[in-house]
């Protein structure tokens, strides 16, 4: 895959974050981790998954994108997302650690220190107490000490890491004995019609597209592959499940406009095309989509999820 743009949090939220939040809600419920635990969210982006975590004692987000981490650090709600649970809204209003300007290696807010609270070593600095901490880092080389978290999760990110197996080994390394380690990715090959229609229209106009088409480039995002990575990392009680969510678009513009935000593979590809090519792609897509008589578009998306336990 070519370099993928991840930078503008608002544009990402409108394009993908709003859907990841719905998967995350079902995913976190599936994990069944009680409140008061130490969580790590790798490839945390703007916080779609972190926002669903119930009452963590500590939550650390790691991402390569400074821009996304700023949004994560603020715990901001996307303007496009009007369907969040009351619990989430209450937590956002309670106000997590404020964002700090600039691409500091550790962006940490004033985490309240508590007796008996966990500690995390990050880039040589000591993160103490509970609260919310955002770190710039690579999933395949986490800036964290061993065995510190009760739950290590990742949403829609592992397929973007050049060596996902190395990332899974890292997720395991920083997990405490007995911790749950879990992730989800889109079922790009068979469960992402939003992108399938986009790439089908693109391929018709650009025969050289190849594996930029995510249904080809990320065809490895399957339950058996995820289970293999988890087992190879030495994790126990490995299980997978398919998570389906409805994707509802008011009209074609509601579908199309987020692709113009430039975040992720398809919007990044679109931005690389000329205005005339973008126009042709848009019109081809308009005719491919199952637009209802009232103008709305209703799709179903599916993600594969995996979880396992660190021995001990
Ligand atoms: C599709 S977004 C998912 C964000 C968020 N977890 C969600 O579910 O909406 C992919 C995220 O992975 C991050 N990412 C990509 N490669 C990474 C790497 N090697 N290490 C850490 N984060 C990475 C990107 O910056 C981006 O935030």
Q: What is the DSSP letter of 30?
A: H
Q: Ligand 1 in contact with 71 (CB < 6 A)?
A: no
Question: How many A from CA of 226 to the centre of ligand 1?
Answer: 17
Question: How many A from CA of 250 to the centre of ligand 1?
Answer: 27
Query: Can you tell me which atom of ligand 1 is nearest the CA of 139?
Result: 20
Q: Ligand 1 in contact with 235 (CB < 6 A)?
A: no
Domains and CATH numbers, the chain: 9-189+216-246+303-309 (3.40.50.150)
Q: Which residues contact 285 (CB under 8 A, 6 or more apart)?
A: 197, 198, 201, 256
Which residue is closest in CA terms to ligand 1's atom 10?
157
How much is the pLDDT for 120?
A: 57
Query: Can you tell me which atom of ligand 1 is nearest the CA of 68?
Result: 27
Q: Ligand 1 in contact with 135 (CB < 6 A)?
A: no
Measured CA angle at 4 (ends 307, 305), to 5 deg:
15
Question: How many A from CA of 68 to the centre of ligand 1?
Answer: 9
Q: Ligand 1 in contact with 282 (CB < 6 A)?
A: no
Query: Can you tell me which atom of ligand 1 is nearest the CA of 138?
Result: 20
How much is the pLDDT for 112?
A: 33
CA 93 to chain CA centroid, Å, is 22
Burial (CB count <10 Å: 0-12, 13-18, 19+), residue 163: exposed
- Annotate 237-283 with DSSP letters as a single string: EEEEEEEEEEEEESSHHHHHGGGGG--SHHHHHHHTS-HHHHHHHHH
Reference 265, options 50, 10, 12; nearest CA is: 12
Query: Can you tell me which atom of ligand 1 is nearest the CA of 41?
Result: 6
How much is the pLDDT for 117?
A: 40
Q: Ligand 1 in contact with 65 (CB < 6 A)?
A: yes
Q: What is the DSSP letter of 25?
A: H
- Annotate 127-174 with DSSP letters as a single string: EESSEEEEEE-BTTB-SS-SS-EEEEEEES-GGGSSSHHHHHHHHHHH
Q: Ligand 1 in contact with 43 (CB < 6 A)?
A: yes
Question: How many A from CA of 42 to the centre of ligand 1?
Answer: 7
Digitized pLDDT (tens) for each residue of the chain, 312 residues in all: 558 889 999 999 999 999 999 999 999 999 999 999 999 999 999 999 999 999 999 999 999 999 999 999 887 443 333 333 333 222 222 223 333 323 333 334 333 333 334 455 555 556 666 788 999 999 999 999 999 999 999 999 999 999 999 999 999 999 999 999 999 999 999 999 999 999 999 999 998 899 999 999 999 999 999 999 999 999 999 999 999 999 999 999 999 999 999 999 999 999 999 999 999 999 999 999 999 999 999 999 999 999 999 999
Q: Ligand 1 in contact with 268 (CB < 6 A)?
A: no
- The residue assigned the tokens 């715990």 is 75
Query: Can you tell me which atom of ligand 1 is nearest the CA of 49?
Result: 8
Query: Can you tell me which atom of ligand 1 is nearest the CA of 44?
Result: 6
């Amino acid at each position: 895959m070519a370099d993928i743009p991840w930078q503008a949090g608002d544009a990402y939220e409108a394009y993908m974050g709003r859907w990841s939040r719905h998967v995350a809600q079902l995913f976190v419920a599936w994990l069944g981790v009680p409140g008061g635990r130490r969580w790590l969210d790798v490839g945390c982006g703007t916080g779609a998954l972190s926002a669903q975590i119930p009452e963590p004692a500590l939550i650390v987000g790691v991402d390569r994108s400074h821009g996304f981490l700023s949004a994560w650090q603020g715990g901001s709600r996307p303007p496009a997302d009007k369907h969040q649970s009351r619990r989430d809204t209450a937590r956002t209003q309670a106000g997590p650690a404020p964002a700090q300007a600039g691409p500091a290696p550790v962006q940490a807010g004033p985490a309240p220190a508590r007796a008996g609270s966990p500690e995390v070593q990050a880039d040589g600095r000591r993160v103490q107490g509970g609260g919310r901490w955002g770190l710039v880092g690579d999933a395949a080389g986490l800036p964290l000490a061993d065995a510190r978290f009760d739950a290590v999760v990742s949403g829609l990110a592992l397929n973007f890491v050049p060596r996902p197996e190395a990332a899974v080994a890292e997720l395991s390394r920083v997990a405490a004995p007995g911790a749950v380690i879990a992730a989800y990715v889109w079922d790009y090959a068979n469960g992402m019609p939003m992108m399938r229609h986009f790439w089908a229209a693109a391929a018709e106009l650009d025969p050289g597209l190849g594996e930029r088409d995510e249904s080809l480039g990320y065809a490895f995002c399957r339950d058996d592959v995820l289970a293999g990575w988890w087992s190879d990392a030495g994790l126990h009680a490995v299980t997978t499940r398919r998570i389906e969510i409805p994707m509802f678009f008011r009209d074609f513009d509601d579908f199309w406009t987020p692709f113009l935000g430039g975040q992720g593979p398809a919007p990044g590809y679109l931005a690389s095309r000329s205005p005339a090519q973008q126009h042709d792609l848009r019109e081809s897509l308009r005719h491919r989509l199952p637009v209802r008589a009232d103008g709305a578009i209703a799709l179903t998306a599916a993600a594969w999820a995996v979880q396992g336990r660190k021995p001990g």
